[in-house]
């Protein structure tokens, strides 16, 4: 006979020979065996991280990496969670010290955790929250005639995939689907007004492999810095200028974009192409914002400003994103977004890439020219 114990407590068992007739019974072969549950430890959490309904199997090694994978520091009964940069107190949903980026969030308490919204936001290491690449990309492609599904998917790869914030804590394989990583309603005081389905694209996806950007937030890897149009501190010390960093980032970005566009698949691309296209879009957006600054945790060398990312002017980044949408359409013989006339930001394109765009436009009824980093297109009169 098997009996499943539903909760912690005590179990009493006895054997009795109680029959209405005489029977000889031998008890020497009777044994009782306890089979431990395969569950070693269980923790449930309230949204701000306070644990409840906890369970640990007896004689098991305690697991201290709990809420959001952060280590619980329970010495002296503190019950703080170690985020690396600072300690978090889940009982009150607040940090123990002032946010080093408090200047970027002047409308909320400097001790606040994830902008008081742990359902949609996550703090990776106690330092920052990702900016607005998703909304910028999705809106630009929608405005240029692409489908909602294509625009949202590309937005995910241009934001969550490209920035891959879990790489900060050294995790190349994030907890897919469980970790919301972007702020969607607090950028420069503006509500992005995303739908619930779009908000889901701000989370890691079960069916996406993020290994390609496992080092995205590396301070020392030059290839990773290209994604964000920044420089390493070592590159700066060796004489690499901000303009050289921007030029290389733009060149790499356009090469990625054209490599996908020239397949002629339009919106019918897979995740590998979405990743390539998204990285290109992300780098061009960051080229306008970062302008080749040094990205380093060493404050004496760092030039990157999270406050600038959030509150800075987004006009040029939006312009380049819209230009990518137009170029991708032109190469795929879709000119609906060009209209009667259009300007396309093209800084960083190679001569061959410029010629491909201009020839496509001219072959399809447009006068086209290039000047000072911009392609000008105007529909020919009949």
Write the pLDDT tens digit of every residue in 170-224.
444 444 433 434 333 333 333 455 666 666 676 777 788 888 988 888 888 989 8
> Please, what is the Cα angle at 197 between 68 and 49, to 5 degrees?
20
Going across the sheet that includes 80-82, the strands are 71-73, 80-82, 87-89, 94-95
Convert the pLDDT of each residue in 45-74 to its tens digit.
888 888 888 877 777 777 888 887 788 888
User: Are residues 162 and 133 in contact, defined by beta-carbon separation less than 8 angstroms?
Assistant: yes
d(CA 47, CA 119): 7
Judge whether residue 84 has pLDDT over 80.
Answer: no
277 neighbors 157 (Cβ within 8 angstroms)? yes
- Cβ atoms 213, 276 nearer than 8 A: no
Question: What pLDDT, on a 0 to 100 scale, did the predictor assign at position 193?
Answer: 58
- Cα→Cα distances 151→138, 223, 343, 376, Å: 5, 26, 21, 25
Instruction: With CA atoms as reference, report the closest residue to 179 among 142, 209, 206, 159.
Output: 206
How many Å is the Cα radius of gyration of the chain?
28
pLDDT at 189: 30
Spatial neighbors of 130 by CB under 8 A, at least 6 apart, are: 159, 160, 163, 165, 181, 182, 183
Question: Between 374 and 195, where is the model more confident?
Answer: 374
């Amino acid at each position: 006979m098997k009996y499943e114990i539903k909760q912690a407590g005590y179990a009493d068992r006895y054997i009795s020979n109680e029959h209405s007739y005489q029977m000889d019974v031998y008890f020497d072969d009777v044994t009782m065996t306890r089979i431990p549950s395969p569950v070693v430890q269980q923790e449930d959490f309230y949204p701000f991280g306070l644990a409840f309904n906890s369970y640990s199997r007896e004689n098991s090694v305690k697991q201290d990496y709990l809420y959001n994978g952060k280590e619980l520091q329970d010495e002296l009964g503190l019950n703080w969670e170690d985020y690396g940069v600072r300690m978090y107190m889940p009982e009150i949903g607040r940090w123990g010290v002032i946010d080093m980026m408090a200047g970027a969030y002047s409308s909320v308490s400097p001790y606040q955790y994830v902008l008081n919204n742990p359902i949609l936001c996550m703090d990776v290491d106690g330092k920052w929250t990702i900016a607005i690449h998703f909304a910028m990309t999705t809106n630009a492609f929608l405005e240029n005639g692409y489908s909602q599904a294509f625009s949202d998917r590309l937005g995910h790869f241009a934001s969550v995939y490209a920035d891959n914030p879990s790489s900060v804590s050294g995790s190349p394989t994030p907890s897919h689907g469980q970790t919301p990583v972007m702020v969607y309603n607090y950028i420069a005081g503006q509500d992005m007004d995303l739908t619930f389905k779009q908000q889901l694209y701000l989370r890691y996806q079960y069916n996406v492999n993020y290994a390609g950007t496992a080092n995205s937030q590396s301070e020392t890897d030059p290839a990773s810095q290209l994604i964000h149009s920044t420089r390493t501190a070592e590159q700066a010390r060796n004489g690499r200028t901000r303009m050289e960093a921007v030029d290389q980032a733009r060149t790499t970005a356009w090469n990625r974009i054209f490599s996908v566009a020239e397949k002629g698949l339009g919106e019918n691309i897979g995740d590998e192409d979405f990743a390539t296209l998204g990285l290109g879009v992300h780098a061009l957006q960051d080229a306008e914002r970062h302008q080749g600054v040094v990205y380093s945790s060493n404050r004496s060398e760092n030039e990157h400003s999270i406050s600038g990312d959030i509150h800075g002017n987004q006009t040029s980044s939006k312009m380049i994103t819209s230009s990518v949408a137009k170029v991708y359409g032109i190469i795929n013989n879709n000119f609906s977004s060009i209209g009667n006339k259009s300007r396309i930001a093209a800084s960083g394109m190679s001569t061959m890439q410029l010629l491909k765009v201009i020839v496509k436009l001219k072959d399809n009824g447009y006068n086209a020219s290039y000047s000072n980093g911009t392609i000008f297109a105007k529909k020919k009169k009949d």
